[in-house]
Homo-oligomer: A and B are copies of this chain.
């Protein structure tokens, strides 16, 4: 299987497959005589694993840890759970941060007439002249 077919089968772009190889996330693939990378079902399975991890928001660094744990038959599931829980905590922190932004923005938008007049509480807030400061950071 060439890289294009592996890409098709895994949902990971050929560009990314080469990149993952470059950064050591996946092993350098064997090459045919014409210098083409060759993939088998095992490699496609790894790529799909990576893609799913990425879809769940894991960084490539976290994905690498998960991949190693997956391939380590002596792993402790606690280690996997730890990676997941740290990631969940990070997601929840970012969600809370964004929700706070949304809350402020919705309030300001609600207070904005949104017509052809120039007066605008959103700009007033950003300019630091409003009763409802931005307050995020």
Give A residues with C-beta under 8 Å from B.
45, 48-49, 51-57, 66, 69-70, 72-78, 80-82, 84-85, 87-88, 91-92, 94-95, 98-99, 101-102, 104-106, 108-109, 112-120, 122-123, 125-128, 133-137
Contact = CB atoms under 8 A, between A and B. Distances in A.
B118 A74 contact: yes
A20 to B, nearest CB: 15
Overall SS of chain A's interface: helix
Contacts of A105: 56, 84, 87-88, 91
Contact of A114 (B77, B92, B94): B77
Contact of A77 (B98, B119, B125): B119
13 contacts: A52-B125, A57-B101, A66-B126, A69-B123, A74-B118, A75-B118, A76-B116, A76-B117, A80-B112, A81-B114, A82-B114, A88-B106, A91-B102
